[in-house]
Structure 1
Amino acid sequence: MNRHRHPLFLFSLCVFWLTTRALMLWLLAHDTLPLLGGGGVAREVWRLYGHWYGVLSSGAFPAHDPLWQYPPGAAPVLLSPALLPGLTYFQAFVALTLLSDAAITYALSRAGTRPGRSLRGAALWTGGLPLLLHVPLARYDVQVTALAVIALLTLPRSTRACGAFAALGALVKVWPVLVLLGVERGRATRSVWRWAALTGAAALAVLLARFDNPLAFLRQQGGRGVQIESLGGTALGLATHADWPGTVRYQYGALEYTGPYVSLVAHASLAATAVAFGLLLWWRTRARHRTPATPYDAALTAVLLFTVTSRVISPQYTIWLLGLAAVCLTSRHTAQRPVAALIVAATAVSAVVYPVLYAEVEAATWTGCALMVVRNGLLVTAAALSYTRLWRSTTAGRAPLPAPARSQGVSTGVPGGVPRLVD
């Protein structure tokens, strides 16, 4: 994009952000409408998060609550509405979520205005998030995504900052640790993992000293079954039309299938996750070439593979994918453009799945099953294409890139001449 057009584009982006976020707030305010979830979307914050806020404020994690399935780092996020004392817990939570959304938009915009970079990432995030209607405002996945996005965008400047932000994200919801997968081998990898370990250990020590029962989430997480929106859940939903006798039950904070073969499907999902991890390790050992976008592309591929093999795949998971796809699109070297398009399509279908037609999905009607086949089919296609394009862009024969720039004495894997992004 011509640099002289940046101010006009950024102004248009700002106006579009304000308009779409106002619309999301309007939808959240009318959450009780049947097609908007009948109050179920907002209830997550004012009832569940609000309840946990009270427990966490007393200095303990909700150890005996089967709905508590989050790492210790989730506590500061859920307690953060106390920073805005003039608002109710619900209002403060939504305000901080919007602030995190704005931080992501700003970081992507700043990265996109650098020479040789693109504003497509900022545009994708700004236009993609409202496809989920008001759901992102009532979940804390935007906050987690902000940590992962900032970790990736700080990598060209500082491996220390990248590792620190990734570690903080991992303490909140685990998956941000995957953004470190594509860091250049050698000194950069050692530095980023060293700082991730130091930051994670320090933050965890503070949480262990502040709260009781910090590891209680492991028991609840281990007991989770097959959610109706997962790949396995889609297969079981279709099986109900072939007289499979299973039923849907609310447990561990989600609607899950119970009945014959459910345990087998759950174990198959775990096995698929192990295979995905093996594929990622195989790629890392075979990759011989890099582009400035390789860390971004690898992060998106990794999170996609772990998402599609999950036993859950809630609609808000696409928030993570949108954020990582947006980071990829800030680089003109990315191989993930068609993958980003598939993620946007899957995001739009996810909003139809939940909250619009969730009753159809729960009842496993033909309509509900068709929606899940389309949504999950798009995600599986995106994951396969993402891995294939990452593999081809880094293992196919090509001339080596120029020597990478150095920052703080550590190789960052970004060719010389690419400027620093954010601090």
Structure 2
Amino acid sequence: MSAFRNRRPLALAAAWLATRALMLWLLAHDRLAPLGRGGVSREVRQLYFHWYGVLSQGTFPVGDRLWQYPPGAGPVLLAPGLLPGLTYFTAFVACTLAADAVIAAVLTRAGRRPGSSARGAWLWVLGLPLLLHIPLARYDVQVTALAVVSLLALARRPRVCGAFAAAGALVKVWPALALIGTPRGRSTREVWASAVVTAAALLAVLAAFFSGPFDFLRQQSGRGVQIESLGGTVLGFARHAGWPGTARYQYGAMEFVGPYTGAVAACSLALTVAAFALVLLWRVRARRWTTATPYDAALTAVLLFTVTSRVISPQYMVWLLGLCAVCLTARHTTQRPVAVLILAAAAVSSVVYPGMYGDVVRSTWTGCLLMLVRNGLLAAGAGVSFVRLWRSGLPAAATRRTVPAGRDRRTRTAAAGLRTRQ
């Protein structure tokens, strides 16, 4: 058994090398029609490179409607310039692969702890390629690395957990949700104090070296309903019922424009507020905490945020895969069924984009059905995730009361028989 455990990291490393080589091959051939006709890599080659030039001058892209990211995104986009002798695109992919390798390494290490599991590392290594080459051409892997390290540091180094969560939140807001499930008491106080201090320090540094760090708030507020969101799926089917709206590229994504889109966007925001109210209610009412609870709560919160958002870009699946992987490192996690649903949603997402994105833009029946399946899987995952998290936080006596009477009698009978045999 010990020999097998010693070989496991080698098997994970071999799988990581093989799958990432395949992802690199797909990225090198992304001009093929099924791989997006160059659209996947274009964001790095043109948009990120343009922002790199602006950021190099000591200013954020003020007034740019496509710049909708917190100020921490600036250093991430500048980082490829530190690698000498490489083009910006090649250096960006190298940085993404390095962050990917860090995630695989920390998950592997976490899986080797007593009472832990290697399933999380395997899910990350084999699950990320379901998104084809998209993760290599977006900086969501880097953000996910910060969130994963933050969660896995919680048990032993709470201050490190808070610092990494704060850094992630300044790059893309969602890593702040990783702290929603920290255990009550001293641990939570240490985590949040570290997060606040780190965020304040990083913001002060960014404000000192760059101008316009908060312009992204103005651009973010103008976003509409992306065609891949849950609301976008409703509007896609509405086009077949005579709704006169169309899809247009704006704010960095294909969004629906036309009557009632403002109302749909408002509904999405209201659902987001309601979802977070439920998560906060869980935190107030929860009475049981396990080593897996912070991981499970982080996945639930981010999944609810994703499902109710006005935008569900394909790269958002990277976040969910990373959090599912963290959950599966803990043997007591409640989120195993959710991980299966997320893996299925990731596989469908790669069919949606880049494979059949034209059908989604035109709202053909094929495109609408694909979005219904993908978003249906995410919505089902969000519901299952929250219910299982809620039940895991109930006191043991309350959990027993939720078991049907017949099943409870069978359990007592089996226990009595076991005692008799003993």
With structure 2 as the length reference, what TM-score do the two structures score?
Answer: 0.93
Report the aligned-residue RMSD.
1.1
1:2-401 residue pairs with structure 2 within 5 A? Answer: 2-397=1-396
Q: Choose 388-397 or 282-291, whichever is displaced more.
A: 388-397
The answer for the alignment partner of 2:405 in structure 1 is none
Q: Kindly provide the amino acid, as one letter, of the partner of residue 221 in structure 2.
A: G
Counting aligned pairs with the same residue, the percent is 68
> Structure 1, residues 293-337: CA drift from partner, whole Å, max 9, x if none?
000000000000000000001110010000000000000010000
Distance in 2, Cα, partners of 1:342 & 1:184: 27
1:281 positional shift: 0.8
Q: Kindly provide the amino acid, as one letter, of the partner of residue 187 in structure 1.
A: R
The alignment partner of 2:207 has SS state of helix
> Structure 1, residues 33-68: CA drift from partner, whole Å, max 9, x if none?
011000000000010000000000000000111000
1:128, 1:344 within 8 Å by CA — same for their partners in 2? yes
Q: Kindly provide the amino acid, as one letter, of the partner of residue 15 in structure 2.
A: F
In the alignment, structure 2 segments of 5+ residues that lack a partner are 400-422
The alignment partner of 1:255 has SS state of strand
Distance in 2, Cα, partners of 1:374 & 1:12: 33
In the alignment, structure 1 segments of 5+ residues that lack a partner are 401-423
Distance in 2, Cα, partners of 1:328 & 1:212: 39
The alignment partner of 2:255 has SS state of strand
Distance in 1, Cα, partners of 2:104 & 2:69: 26
1:114 positional shift: 1.0
Distance in 1, Cα, partners of 2:243 & 2:305: 28
1:3, 1:113 within 8 Å by CA — same for their partners in 2? no
The answer for the alignment partner of 2:406 in structure 1 is none
The answer for the alignment partner of 1:415 in structure 2 is none
The alignment partner of 1:395 has SS state of coil
The higher relative CO (CA closer than 8 Å, separation ≥ 6) is in 1
The alignment partner of 2:167 has SS state of helix
> Structure 1, residues 260-302: CA drift from partner, whole Å, max 9, x if none?
0000000000000000110011000100001110000000000
1:7 positional shift: 2.2
Distance in 1, Cα, partners of 2:351 & 2:216: 30
The alignment partner of 1:256 has SS state of strand
Distance in 2, Cα, partners of 1:365 & 1:272: 27
How many residues are matched?
A: 399
Q: Kindly provide the amino acid, as one letter, of the partner of residue 190 in structure 1.
A: R
Seen in structure 2, the aligned counterparts of structure 1 residues 385 and 23 have a Cα distance that, compared at 3 Å, is: same
> Structure 1, residues 224-254: CA drift from partner, whole Å, max 9, x if none?
0000000000000000000100011100000
With structure 1 as the length reference, what TM-score do the two structures score?
Answer: 0.93
Bigger Rg, structure 1 or 2: 2
